[in-house]
Amino acid sequence: MSDLNQRIEAMYQGDRRGAWLFVLALWVTIIFVLVMSWPYIPDTGVRVVVLIAAVALLIFNTASVSAMLRHYAEDKKFIYSLDIKHLDEMRKGR
Protein backbone atom coordinates (compact mmCIF):
# COMPACT_ATOMS: atom_id res chain seq x y z
CA MET A 1 0.00 0.00 0.00
CA SER A 2 2.93 2.30 0.65
CA ASP A 3 4.01 1.93 -2.98
CA LEU A 4 0.56 3.05 -4.14
CA ASN A 5 0.68 6.09 -1.85
CA GLN A 6 4.12 7.00 -3.18
CA ARG A 7 2.89 6.71 -6.78
CA ILE A 8 -0.18 8.81 -5.97
CA GLU A 9 1.97 11.49 -4.35
CA ALA A 10 4.39 11.49 -7.29
CA MET A 11 1.54 11.93 -9.79
CA TYR A 12 -0.04 14.67 -7.69
CA GLN A 13 3.23 16.56 -7.35
CA GLY A 14 3.81 16.30 -11.09
CA ASP A 15 0.35 17.65 -11.85
CA ARG A 16 0.81 20.39 -9.28
CA ARG A 17 4.14 21.42 -10.77
CA GLY A 18 2.67 21.44 -14.28
CA ALA A 19 -0.33 23.52 -13.24
CA TRP A 20 1.84 26.18 -11.61
CA LEU A 21 4.13 26.23 -14.65
CA PHE A 22 1.10 26.93 -16.83
CA VAL A 23 0.07 29.75 -14.48
CA LEU A 24 3.60 31.18 -14.65
CA ALA A 25 3.53 30.96 -18.45
CA LEU A 26 0.18 32.76 -18.47
CA TRP A 27 1.53 35.58 -16.31
CA VAL A 28 4.63 35.96 -18.47
CA THR A 29 2.57 35.93 -21.65
CA ILE A 30 -0.01 38.46 -20.45
CA ILE A 31 2.64 40.81 -19.09
CA PHE A 32 4.62 40.51 -22.34
CA VAL A 33 1.54 41.31 -24.41
CA LEU A 34 0.72 44.30 -22.20
CA VAL A 35 4.24 45.68 -22.41
CA MET A 36 4.50 45.19 -26.17
CA SER A 37 1.05 46.58 -26.99
CA TRP A 38 1.02 49.44 -24.48
CA PRO A 39 2.67 52.03 -26.79
CA TYR A 40 0.09 51.27 -29.50
CA ILE A 41 -2.91 52.04 -27.29
CA PRO A 42 -3.33 55.80 -27.61
CA ASP A 43 -6.49 56.26 -25.51
CA THR A 44 -6.11 56.32 -21.73
CA GLY A 45 -9.59 54.89 -21.22
CA VAL A 46 -8.77 51.89 -23.39
CA ARG A 47 -5.48 51.41 -21.53
CA VAL A 48 -7.35 51.30 -18.22
CA VAL A 49 -9.84 48.75 -19.59
CA VAL A 50 -7.05 46.58 -21.01
CA LEU A 51 -5.11 46.72 -17.73
CA ILE A 52 -8.19 45.85 -15.63
CA ALA A 53 -9.05 42.97 -17.98
CA ALA A 54 -5.50 41.61 -17.81
CA VAL A 55 -5.40 41.82 -14.02
CA ALA A 56 -8.83 40.15 -13.73
CA LEU A 57 -7.75 37.38 -16.10
CA LEU A 58 -4.59 36.71 -14.10
CA ILE A 59 -6.32 36.82 -10.72
CA PHE A 60 -9.23 34.57 -11.70
CA ASN A 61 -7.05 32.02 -13.51
CA THR A 62 -4.56 31.86 -10.66
CA ALA A 63 -7.39 31.45 -8.15
CA SER A 64 -9.04 28.72 -10.23
CA VAL A 65 -5.81 26.72 -10.53
CA SER A 66 -5.25 27.11 -6.80
CA ALA A 67 -8.78 25.85 -6.08
CA MET A 68 -8.31 22.95 -8.50
CA LEU A 69 -5.11 21.92 -6.76
CA ARG A 70 -6.78 22.10 -3.33
CA HIS A 71 -9.54 19.82 -4.64
CA TYR A 72 -6.97 17.44 -6.09
CA ALA A 73 -5.16 17.35 -2.73
CA GLU A 74 -8.41 16.45 -0.96
CA ASP A 75 -9.36 13.69 -3.43
CA LYS A 76 -5.97 12.63 -4.73
CA LYS A 77 -6.30 9.07 -3.47
CA PHE A 78 -9.52 8.58 -5.44
CA ILE A 79 -8.37 10.49 -8.55
CA TYR A 80 -4.91 9.03 -8.91
CA SER A 81 -5.63 5.49 -7.77
CA LEU A 82 -7.98 5.17 -10.75
CA ASP A 83 -5.31 6.52 -13.07
CA ILE A 84 -2.70 4.16 -11.66
CA LYS A 85 -5.08 1.21 -11.94
CA HIS A 86 -5.74 1.97 -15.61
CA LEU A 87 -2.05 2.58 -16.34
CA ASP A 88 -1.14 -0.76 -14.75
CA GLU A 89 -3.83 -2.54 -16.79
CA MET A 90 -2.56 -0.92 -19.98
CA ARG A 91 0.99 -2.09 -19.22
CA LYS A 92 -0.24 -5.65 -18.59
CA GLY A 93 -2.11 -5.59 -21.91
CA ARG A 94 1.02 -4.84 -23.94
pLDDT tens for residues 32-64?
A: 999 999 999 999 999 999 999 999 999 999 999
Res. 1 pLDDT band, cuts 50 70 90: low
- Measured between alpha carbons, how far is 92 from 73 in angstroms, rounded to an integer? 28
pTM for the full model?
0.81
In terms of residue numbers, what domain contains 8?
Answer: 2-93
> In Å, how far are 25, 29, 50 from 47, measured between CA atoms?
23, 17, 5
User: How much is the pLDDT for 63?
Assistant: 98
pLDDT at residue 65 above 70? yes
Helices 44-93, 2-37: crossing angle, 10 deg rounding: 150
Query: Is the pLDDT higher at 51 or at 1?
Result: 51
- Total number of domains constituting the chain: 1
Give the pLDDT mean for 14-28. 97
The CA-atom distances, in angstroms, between 74 and each of 24, 27, 49, 52 are: 23, 26, 37, 33
